[in-house]
Amino acid sequence: MDERAKAVPTVRIDNGRVKATEWAFAPGAETGWHRHGHDYVVVPLTDGELLIEQPGGTSGTARLSRGVPYANVIGVEHNVVNAGRETLAFLEIEITG
């Protein structure tokens, strides 16, 4: 299997209470496998479609709409891939303190 390009994270805020990271994905780029250590909110900066790979080989897709946030909880483990043909970006806001 070919290695995917990596999404580019840019930390915008990290003050001990919240951490806000902007993620930019070229088409086909991935975050890499990770487990969330905090509850978090994702705010899409663009429209797009994500492939969400989960442990055990399961996967699904999520449609993002610019400006429409969603939340998830600590402990989520996954790999996130830009499944579209356009650049995709979102802001991930972790509640750290």
Q: Where are the domains of the chain?
A: 8-95
| DSSP structural state of residue 67 | T
* pLDDT tens digits along 17-54: 999 999 999 999 999 999 999 999 999 999 999 999 99
Query: What phi, psi does 57 have (nearest 5°)?
Result: 85, 5
SS3 state of residue 57 = helix
- Its CATH architecture, for the domain 8-95, is Sandwich (2.60)
What is the value of pTM for the model shown? 0.93
SS3 state of residue 3 = coil
Among candidates 42, 48, 37, which has minimal Cα distance to 85? 48
**Quick check: 1 pLDDT over 90?**
no
CA-based torsion, 42, 95, 38, 35: positive or negative:
positive
